[in-house]
A and B are shown apart, each in its own frame.
Chain A
């Protein structure tokens, strides 16, 4: 090894001012090259190529014709698209809002320091998260079965009517949302729990001195302190929630691709799959993908705006 460390070795590594003298070096690029290479080929390139394909009438085993923005004009006039967009948003709302509320309550309870078997409880609430989405799809499809499902049996045994869960728009979306909720609530609870544990106790002590009871403390100390975490989880749930695919596909059984007979629970991701890989309209499918990108981008920006406003409050 060269003895003069000042001239070679740590190319460009941030060090003391004496060493800041940068040398043009390839080393850093070698470190980031694998990432950018693979990411560029399998991530960025397809992303841009989607835009290109969306301008074509593109059948992978047939003709390819350039048609400009026709896919988009068709898409915006297509009731199936608006239906799927509406379903996506409502499934997102039904699954995310109760999920995050339930997660906060769970976290508050798990945060109780006197609790015995803490780790056991934490593990229990995380079990759904390590269960695969296909497994969840099959289990819940059975639970929500019309004729032999456990939930209908419960409803009936307390004197209520059986529900054809898959048939109705709201009921089917509730069933799909339950799968999403079941999988992610415990997970989000653990994140909230971590955030709660870092809230300084002095805040609670001060509130207690002011005479606040536990519920009041929860509302006036815990929730405000959790705000950034809540916004974060909301963003993540939004990005994921807007792409829901496997749950409705599996729930629908044979009619899964269209999300039921009336497309009552077809999400945008399913619509993309249907047009791209059932009807083999790659151009139209790509237009759907771009529309979904835009929707997710808008949702993320709205979330961020919301978060910065709340943070500045």
Chain B
């Protein structure tokens, strides 16, 4: 090689080296300096656990507290609901994973199929705490081969939050028993909404998607048959009924996308009067509309109970800190801490031992006009039965939601939207 060429080669090499060094410094793959060892029972300190969530889990404070107590750190990444789960799939495929990831129940069946990408929590003794949790909530984190890939967070027992000030303005009663007497069916509920709208000119509901989600969550079975072997989304009369009720709600709906900035604003401004509210929604309302404190109350749904949401906390297999991560999730999800989380955020515990605990049943929320939310949601949770949810649950629900959106915009009638929803679901799962 001539000297000139060498010089050139050297320049290229130096350049490449500089480039790689620069990037190596700023790559995120090097967070754990020493892998945690589960042997010896001594947990490492000085580690940083990465935690991926959608929205708020209500567990952030507990996790930070755990980190402070144990001499570690927690870093959160919050994303939107669907992107969060998509990114988790991508991460599992690539091995660049967080230490802890939230998997929501409508996605749990999908991730069940990939349970081998998660740490089997039985390795850390998860079996011994199984009895702390509701059976069906526990089962949502168990794969077909028995592998436990996640611990249950809260239960999304369903109730209804409503604006007492707006109800008063519309001449409606405001105490929960009287409100509950207004309707004994979802049809009645719609009628009250129509009267409200006629009287005030304002929307009664936030979104028909939320209404559908609620009724869907009261269905048994849902989109899959009870044994999970076949799809019944198109033949299940309960789903059709849910869709029809939701479609009729369009005329009294503010037509907002749930969890959008506009929805948040409308919630704070009082642009609608009723918010169908799984327990965790109370946390959301308090976070988004703090200035409405004392203007809300909570009542039971027209009919039945139902569960919407709740998650499992999982530890991807490629995590270098699995033992530490398990220590954290098992502590923040312990019955004692779930009670504390409930008091702070409203997220309802998945640990039935609390359901008779006066600390929970006597709990009233100031924000919600001292409504007995403890008793409301524990009654709701007691009514819950496990309903089979399949791997494509979320994909299908998105299409039903889209179809309801097309009714809102006037693009389709309710009947057309039902047909187009079925067609879209079919394509989606095909």
Contact = CB atoms under 8 A, between A and B. Distances in A.
B82 A254 contact: yes
A27 B81 CA distance: 54
Contact of A61 (B8, B80, B89): B89
A257 B401 CA distance: 14
A281 to B, nearest CB: 10
A80 B257 contact: no
Interface in A38-68: 60-62
Interface in B377-430: 395, 398, 401-403, 405-406, 408-409, 411, 427-428, 430
Given A27-B5, A261-B406, A280-B89, A61 B114 contact: yes
Interface stretch (B233-241, B259-267, B306-314): B259-267
A145 B262 contact: yes
B402 A258 contact: yes
Contacts of B260: 253-254
A167 B81 CA distance: 21
A61 B117 contact: yes
A262 B5 contact: no
Contacts of A79: 427
Dominant SS among interface residues on chain B: helix
Contacts of B80: 254
A277 B257 contact: no
A168 interface: yes
B55 to A, nearest CB: 12
Contacts of B92: 61
Contacts of A277: 86, 90
A148 B402 contact: no
Contacts of B5: 27, 30
A46 to B, nearest CB: 16
A52 B203 CA distance: 53
Given A147-B262, A167-B409, A254 B81 contact: yes
A305 interface: no
Contacts of B408: 167
A167 B256 CA distance: 12
Contacts of B430: 74
A14 B408 CA distance: 71
Nearest to A145: B262
A78 interface: yes
B12 interface: yes
Contacts of A60: 93
Nearest to B407: A261
Nearest to B16: A34
A262 B402 contact: yes
B9 A30 contact: yes
A278 B86 contact: yes
Contacts of A164: 409
A62 B114 CA distance: 7
A280 B78 CA distance: 21
Contacts of B114: 61-62
A262 B240 CA distance: 20
B402 A167 contact: no
B113 A62 contact: yes
A34 B403 CA distance: 52
Nearest to A9: B2
Interface in A122-172: 145-148, 164, 167-168
Interface string A250-271: 0001110110111000000000
Given A261-B405, A278-B86, A279-B395, A78 B411 contact: no
Contacts of A62: 113-114
B259 A80 contact: no
Contacts of A168: 409
Interface centre among A8, A62, A278 (most CB of B within 10 A): A278
Given A277-B90, A280-B89, A34 B81 contact: no
Given A61-B114, A255-B257, A262-B406, A148 B262 contact: yes
A214 to B, nearest CB: 47
B402 A261 contact: yes
A268 B5 CA distance: 46
A75 B294 CA distance: 54
B411 A262 contact: yes
Interface string A218-261: 00000000000000000000000000000000000111011011
A167 B262 contact: no
Contacts of A167: 405, 408-409, 411
Interface of B: 2, 5, 8-9, 12, 80-82, 86, 89-90, 92-93, 113-114, 117, 257, 259-260, 262, 265-266, 395, 398, 401-403, 405-406, 408-409, 411, 427-428, 430
13 contacts: A30-B8, A61-B89, A61-B117, A62-B113, A79-B427, A147-B262, A147-B265, A164-B409, A167-B411, A253-B257, A254-B80, A260-B405, A278-B82
Given A167-B409, A277-B86, 15 more contacts: A61-B114, A61-B117, A62-B113, A74-B430, A79-B427, A147-B265, A167-B411, A168-B409, A254-B81, A254-B259, A254-B260, A255-B402, A262-B411, A278-B82, A279-B428
Ranked nearest first, the 5 interchain pairs of A and B with the lowest CB-CB distance are A261-B405, A167-B409, A60-B93, A261-B402, A61-B93
